[in-house]
Amino acid sequence: MKDQRIPDRLNLGILVLQLAAIGVCGWQVSHVASGWPLLLLALVFGVIMNSVYSTIHEAEHAMLFSHRGWNDFAGAFMALFFPAPFHLIRQGHLGHHLRNRTDDEAFDFYFEEDHKLWKILVLYGILTGFYYLIVALSNVVFLILPFREDKKYWQVDQASVAFMESLNPGYRWIIRLECAAALALHGGLVWFLHIPLAHYLAMYAGFGLMWSGMQYVHHYGTERHVTRGARNLWIWKPLDLLWLNHNWHLTHHQNPSLPWPYLPQTGAQEEAGRGFLLLAYVRMWRGPRRATERVSNPHSGKVIP
């Protein structure tokens, strides 16, 4: 629709500002003292990088730029700062839209045959930043390990198996190239800017903790339905805008091809209530619950194009 077209110029301006903000943080982390100044910088960087992730998210849905080539290039470039291979996390995210709240992706539940301790570790790993660490380490894993054939490495976790089965082998080499580029970029930044490694890791820890903690907050305890199994949340309005309305998550799942500026209006028309983001995060600390309802994944084994 004409009034819901991708805002190319606006998105380009946001992307440029995000790169400038990353540059400022990179310069600051090489000069900042330890302690509270570093902690504050980590917090600011976390807020900025969650905005960057929202940009990557738009690219994953081919909604960052109208031209698909520029869309994917920009998404891949911004993902280097995550750092993560864009064509890997893109497949993971699009797969999430197919698997959401099914047995293949119900992180807040465990079944009778599951290892309860493992399910507890997975959920609390999401809450405490370990999920981000796993995604960041994927740059090493997918660079050196076989791509899809060795499913035996992932059998301990049903969600990981579903993710691996959905990966398109056609992206194998571009993913490995993106992994190598991400490692080279961050190694180069630390080396050439003379950034203390501990400071650099602390800055990214601020982002990782914030990002990881929000990855399931929009789904915890929701209806076990692929598109309805999400919720709209709110936080301080400037943050909602900075994060490109990512908290209108139910509206996004029901309208995955709708660019970010139009989510609030569409969500308001759908009369979907909004909970408070931080309260929803605290509720997740209740941990996983035992489930008896089975929700099969109708797209099981489908490879993401």
- E strand intervals along the chain: 109-110, 232-234, 274-276, 289-290
Show the low-confidence residues of the chain (pLDDT under 70).
Answer: 1-2, 146-156, 271-272
83-86 long-range contacts, Cβ below 8 Å, gap at least 24?
A: 83/136, 83/139, 83/182, 83/183, 83/185, 83/186, 84/135, 84/136, 84/138, 84/139, 84/182, 85/138, 85/139, 85/142, 85/174, 85/175, 85/176, 85/178, 85/179, 85/182, 86/56, 86/59, 86/60, 86/178
DSSP state letter for 65: -
- Cβ atoms of 223 and 264 within 8 Å: the answer is no
- State residue 150's pLDDT score: 57
d(CA 48, CA 225): 32
Mention every residue, 6+ apart, whose C-beta is less than 8 A from residue 222: 101, 228, 229, 230, 231
d(CA 86, CA 142): 12
- Residue 55: strand, helix, or coil: helix
* Residue carrying structure tokens 């139009």: 262
Burial (CB < 10 A; 0-12, 13-18, 19+), residue 175, is: buried
d(CA 112, CA 156): 15
In sequence order, what are the beta bridge partners of 234? 276
d(CA 160, CA 92): 10
The pLDDT tens digits of the residues spanning 9-61 come to: 999 999 999 999 999 999 999 999 989 999 999 999 999 999 999 999 999 99
- State residue 238's pLDDT score: 95
Helix, strand and coil percent figures for the chain, each rounded to 5: 65, 5, 35
- Cβ atoms of 110 and 288 within 8 Å: the answer is yes
Q: What is the pTM of this model?
A: 0.94
d(CA 208, CA 203): 9
C-alpha count within 13 angstroms, C-beta hemisphere, residue 71: 17
259, amino acid identity: P
Domain spans of the chain, in order of start:
2-286
- State residue 1's pLDDT score: 46
DSSP state letter for 110: E
> What does the block give as tokens for 47?
């807020």
- State residue 305's pLDDT score: 86
